[in-house]
Amino acid sequence: MRLSPFQRWSLIWIAFSLASVATVRASQESCHAEQLEAAFANPRATEVRQALADCARADPRDPRVMVVLGRGYLLEGDEDRAALWFERAARLDPGSSETQLWLGRAYGEQAMRAALLHQASLAKKVRRAFERAVELDADNFSARTALLEYYLRAPGFLGGSPEKARREAEEIRQRDVLRGHRAFGRIAEHEKRFDAAAREYESARREFPDSPEPLFWRARLAEQQKDYEAAFEALETLARTTSQPEALYEIGRLAASSGRRLNRGEEALQTYLERQTTGPEEPSLASAHYRLGSLYERKKDRALARREYAAALELDPMLSEARQALAKLR
């Protein structure tokens, strides 16, 4: 999903997938990280975590397995256990940029929930992990983006700096022009220079007409400004001209959040759910059911809303938004 990076202390909106619990359990004997990676799509978080935990116990010295286990705990919402597994993986494989990135994300989640007294020390851990990830792999764009967001959001005494953010954006642009537009657009958004952000995304679209990302960025910017018609227009363009099913999800999400084009949003989410599976970087089916439930609440149909929230929780029992929404309807 093209959300602003670092929205929850740089934990990028992750939709991980589990092809089936049986697939995970079949891999326990050997615990190959590649098999575990292939098992992520449409998660049932509790079952996934248990399967991965069993596998990690069977092969506790493989840092790749530990990283996948940590991701499973993050999926479940247990950032403390996730951080422990990422820390173990980092000790066993100190040269892994990806492990440092995940470690920084876990620390970020901990900081979001920690008492004020502990937030500063955790924030420093976030920064060090992201900086280390970039040191280990200068082309790890996820790490560079997370670090840029940290520099933008953190106060100066914790290492935040607009100048550092701009330097990071320039490094990104030198390596990837499209991502560079996004980086400078994010800085402009953060500074409330929305016209400048729009120009970055429009330039990106002209220079990369076959890339869907600039339209996603433009839609989110328009939504942030409450220009819902422009946001819908960008998403509908995506739905018409590309094979991006995520555009359908975003149309439904925007309809549910704005209260506009509810019938179109319902249609889009139902079409998204008809696929029965999602890719690793797409919104999960559980999330789509939750958004559809929110949309039905907008339409004053409590029975259908209740049904969709229950469907979301069946797929992902740890989806707290759906659990809270269902509780309010009872």
Q: What is the pTM of this model?
A: 0.80
Burial class (CB in 10 A: 0-12, 13-18, 19+), 160: middle
Judge contact between 76 and 317, C-beta under 8 A. Answer: no
Please tell us whether the domain made up of 1-175 is placed in CATH 3.90.1150.10: no
Cα(187)–Cα(148) distance, rounded to whole angstroms? 9
- The pLDDT-based confidence of 275 (bands split at 50, 70, 90) is confident
> Mean pLDDT, to the nearest integer, of 127-146?
97
How many angstroms separate the CA atoms of 12 and 20, rounded?
Answer: 24
Structure confidence at residue 320 (pLDDT)? 87
| CATH code matching the domain that covers 245-330, chosen among 3.90.1300.10, 3.40.630.30, 1.25.40.10, 3.40.50.300 | 1.25.40.10
Q: Domain segments of the chain: what residues? A: 1-175, 245-330
As given in the structure block, the two tokens for residue 180 are: 């560079």
Furthest C-alpha separation in the chain? 55
Report d(CA 24, CA 161) in Å as an integer: 43
What are the C-alpha distances in Å from 143 to residues 40, 72, 87, 105?
A: 21, 20, 17, 10
Check pLDDT > 50 for residue 95. Answer: yes
Return the HEC string of 208-242.
CCCCCHHHHHHHHHHHHCCCHHHHHHHHHHHHHHC
Q: Which residue has the tokens 């089916």?
A: 285
Q: Give residues with Cβ within 8 angstroms of 141, minimum separation 6.
A: 172, 175, 176, 179
The two domains 1-175 and 245-330 share their CATH topology (first three levels equal): yes
pLDDT category, 145, cuts 50, 70, 90?
very high
